[in-house]
Amino acid sequence: MTTLICDCNRTMPLDPRSLGAALNEKLTLHSSLCRREAPAFVQALQTGDDLVLACTQEKRLFVELAQQACGAQRAASGYAPLRFVNIRETAGWSKDAASASPKIAALLAAAQLPEPEPVATVTYQSAGRLLIIGELGAAERAAELLGDELSITLFTQGAGDLGAMQEHRYPVLGGQIQALSGWLGAFELKWLRNNPIDLDLCTRCNACLAACPEDAIGLDYQIDLGACKAHRACVSACQVAGAIDFQRAPQALSEKFDLVLDLRATPAFTQHALPQGYLRWDGRDAKPLLQLRTLVGEFEKPRFFAYKQNLCAHSRNQKTGCHACIDICSASAIASDSQRQQIKVNPSLCIGCGTCTTVCPSGALSYAYPRASQQGVKLKTLLGTYARGGGKNAALLLHSQMGGERLLGDLGRAAQLDGATHGGTYQGTQGVPARVLPVALWHTSSLGLEVWLTAIAYGASQVWLLLTDEEAPQYHEALRSQMALAQAILSGLGYQGEHFRLLHARDARDLAALDADLRAAPAQCVSHSASFAVQSDKRATLELALDHLIAHSPLKPELIALPAAGSPLGGLTLDKEACTLCLSCVSACPVAALQDNAQSPQLRFIEKNCVQCGLCVQTCPEKALALLPRLNLRPERKQPVLLNEMQPYACVRCNKPFGTLKAIEAMLGKLSGHSMFQGAALERLKMCADCRVIDIYSAPDESKITDF
């Protein structure tokens, strides 16, 4: 691995010696690597090593230079050996850039890590069959702007102010839309053709419009049945074409499309993350039209999630427990599968935000690309390199690769300008502090509680999330509640300060507020950095982080109360007077937190396993259980603890124990007044299963089929 650094025309104070020592590599400082010193880049290419370039502004130029230097064969491979990292706007242009060497070394070290391992992909195939829904005049003009590259069908929603063009260039559907579902390459439109005018037969001769005395026919060539008075003059005017038939029965139809452009004020899809291939257009910004023209061909995306049904706490025994992932999904990609008593995730609708994995308490849903273990290596590399370089009180700033990265770029440029021009617009801007380590993610909410706490265990002072308008509104509340949990744990352990915070900035208008937020005081760090690795199992990672934070905590409390909203940790309270020890809660528990005892009627509980899903509470027929969100630091948290035990009930015939005394007595009390449980039948309820069968077949007063 070869690293190339450039101080961008000497606008950054870079120290190649200290950076090289941190990276265990000899570095040469350049000042114009993208211009007169470009031969040094070409020479580095010829070594065959992977290259890390500390510049993102001239990424396109460097790729072009690589293509020219290395030929078409490597050009076709996409230049995997080239990696780019932004140290200018995120570090070098900050007001404290002189002390940012540990941070820059950390960013360069993280850029040297291997690329994420490949995962299964989701494939879309689009032949360019486009459906445009809207007023016919506006739909036809949108189709004109798209040109002839797409196969376009229109669905009229009235004539609108423009009305249809005289020339009939595109197929037009009309009627009542009943449903529109699907995604890129697989949209299905279901509609009811219920208008007397058949648009396939209509020639737009306008004879019906001229003949109608009520003006009930518009320039979308559909009849307003509310205005029509049944003169039927239009039928006579259309005798030759035969497009108008008031006797035609409504017809339910469906058709497939690859793409949908929706011009209506009320769209077909209302979720925050729209299906890929579905775009809305207000008639002004041409960006959606340009996007549509590129969505023809075969496309792939990673399958962002992995699902382990055996860990899922959604449903058991027709009872619903956890539904956090269903509630949070902004793409409507997750639904309940009542037949299988689990969730189902549609990978074609999933946008890869990962918020479902963040709120999942059990780890049944996990983020697959990149995997949590790879993210853990990145965080450990960042924080470890920063600390070895002499950095203190590191704050991780998690942000998106799109909006978040743009904001940080704007902030760095504002700090570099610092009011020298533009009327003092950027006066006083400090830029990204030297202790703030930016971490770009596919989506900001893809990392959750267990990774945040792991980062603190690795030595971070704080973990901040930068949110923009890219994130769905419900994500803000979910992340806020998860951060409240994480903060409650650290505060309960005695770590001082605010360790977690959500930062929100829409665009450059909020740079001043973002600049001030990034200057927040550091919080207390852990005294010894952890060495464990992030696991693929979410709960395992959480336990490792908790163990380390507890071992080095300033306080040693026995219990820490946690907020109820979204807590994946906690215990149970049991009303022993109500409990009959039926043990239905044991079979409902998906994580073996509740257990029985084969040798004795007992209910035992391992608090460490509990994910607070509530399935046991929903299942308990006596309503004797309640959730208790907390972090129990006593040793018994990881051991089976006896919640309840009872005297076994002995069979009145063979004296073999079965059930519990309280459960049998409760059953006898409830059934004693029933007509089917009188005399011998009631007595059989006091027998074990074997004796009950023997008693039925040996009773002299029982009727047998052989008696007839």
Q: Are 217 and 237 in contact (CB under 8 A)?
A: no
State the Cα–Cα distance between residues 187 and 278, nearest whole angstrom: 9
pLDDT in tens, 416-474: 987 555 555 667 889 999 999 999 999 999 999 999 999 999 999 999 999 998 899 99
Give the DSSP H or E segment for 480.
helix 473-492
Pairing state between β 641-645 and 602-605? antiparallel
pLDDT at position 447? 95
Q: How many angstroms separate the Cα of 50 from the Cα of each of 92, 107, 200, 439? A: 24, 16, 60, 21
Distance CA 172, CA 191 (A): 13
Q: Which residues contact 369 (CB under 8 A, 6 or more apart)?
A: 116, 119, 302, 303, 304, 352, 442
**Phi then psi for 466, rounded to 5 degrees?**
-95, 115
Whether the CB-CB separation of 148 and 158 falls below 8 Å is answered with no
Residues 251, 192: contact at Cβ < 8 Å? Answer: yes
Q: Which residues of 285-294 are buried (b: 16+ CB within 10 A; e: fewer)?
A: eeeebeebee
Pair 64, 14: CB distance under 8 Å: no
Contacts with 597 (C-beta within 8 Å, 6 or more apart), sequence order: 604
Coil vs helix vs strand at 300: strand
Query: Would you say 172 and 156 are in contact if contact means Cβ atoms under 8 Å apart?
Result: yes
The DSSP secondary structure of 232-259, one letter per residue, reads -HHHHHTTTT--B-TTPPPEEEEEEESE
Find out whether 254 and 188 touch, Cβ atoms under 8 Å: yes
Distance CA 244, CA 617 (A): 62
Please state, in angstroms and as integers, the Cα–Cα distance from residue 127 to each residue in 143, 183, 270, following that order. Answer: 16, 13, 26
- Of 33, 3, 27, 12, the C-alpha closest to 100 is 12
**CA 297 to CA 275: how far, in whole Å?**
17
Strand stretches in 553-694, DSSP E: 559-561, 570-574, 594-596, 602-605, 625-632, 641-645, 648-650, 657-660
The Cα–Cα gap between 448 and 105 comes to 26
Give the whole-angstrom CA distance, residue 371 versus residue 388: 26
Contact assessment for residue 237 and residue 210, using Cβ atoms and an 8 Å cutoff? yes
- The whole-number pLDDT of residue 76 equals 44
Q: Residue 531 in contact with residue 374, Cβ under 8 Å?
A: no
- In contact, 601 and 581? CB cutoff 8 Å: yes
Class of domain 303-367: alpha beta
**CA 246 remoteness from chain centre:** 50
pLDDT given at position 554: 95
Q: Residue 422: its pLDDT value, please?
A: 53
Q: How many CA atoms lie within 13 A of 106 on its CB side?
A: 32
Q: Which residues pair with 52 in a beta bridge?
A: 3, 83
> What are the residues whose beta carbons fall under 8 Å from the beta carbon of 144, sequence distance 6 or more?
none
Q: Is the peptide bond before 370 cis (omega within 30 degrees of 0)?
A: yes
| CA Rg value for the chain | 34
Mean pLDDT for each 10-residue chunk of the chain (708 residues)?
Answer: 93 94 93 94 86 93 86 48 93 94 96 91 96 93 88 92 84 94 97 92 92 91 90 92 92 96 93 95 86 93 94 91 95 92 94 95 94 94 96 97 93 83 67 96 94 98 95 94 97 97 91 94 96 95 97 95 93 92 92 90 95 95 95 94 89 86 82 81 87 84 60
Tell me the DSSP string of 506-540: -SGGGHHHHHHHTTPPPPPPPSS---PPPPSSHHH
The pLDDT value recorded for residue 664 is 82
Strand partners, 173: 155
104 close to 385: Cβ distance less than 8 angstroms = no
pLDDT value, residue 705? 58
* Rounded to 5°, angle at Cα 400 from 397 and 404: 75
Rounded Cα distance, 567 and 545, in Å:
16
Q: Is 691 left (phi over 0), alpha (psi -120 to 50) or beta?
A: alpha
* Spatial distance between the Cα atoms of 84 and 79, rounded to a whole number of angstroms: 12
Task: Give the pLDDT of residue 75.
Answer: 46
Task: State how far Cα 205 lies from the chain centre.
Answer: 52
When the candidates are 3.30.2230.10, 3.20.20.70, 3.40.50.920, 3.30.70.3270, the CATH number that belongs to 570-645 is 3.30.70.3270
- Determine the Cα–Cα distance for residues 697 and 603; give it in Å rounded to an integer: 35
CA 5 to chain CA mean position, Å: 36
- SS3 assignment, position 422: helix
Report whether 137 contacts 114 (CB < 8 A): no
What span, in angstroms and rounded, lies between the C-alpha atoms of 197 and 208?
A: 10
Q: What is the separation of C-alpha 303 from the centre of its chain, rounded to a whole number of angstroms?
A: 12
In sequence order, which residues have a C-beta less than 8 Å from that of residue 239 and are 6 or more positions away? none
Best CA proximity match to 572, nearest among 587, 589, 556, 558: 589
Q: Which tens digit of pLDDT belongs to each residue from 195-237?
A: 999 998 999 999 999 999 999 998 999 999 989 988 899 999 9
Per-residue pLDDT, 685: 87
241-261, pLDDT tens digit by residue? Answer: 999 999 989 999 999 999 999
Q: What is the pLDDT of residue 694?
A: 87
- CA-wise closest residue to 347 among 361, 335, 359: 335
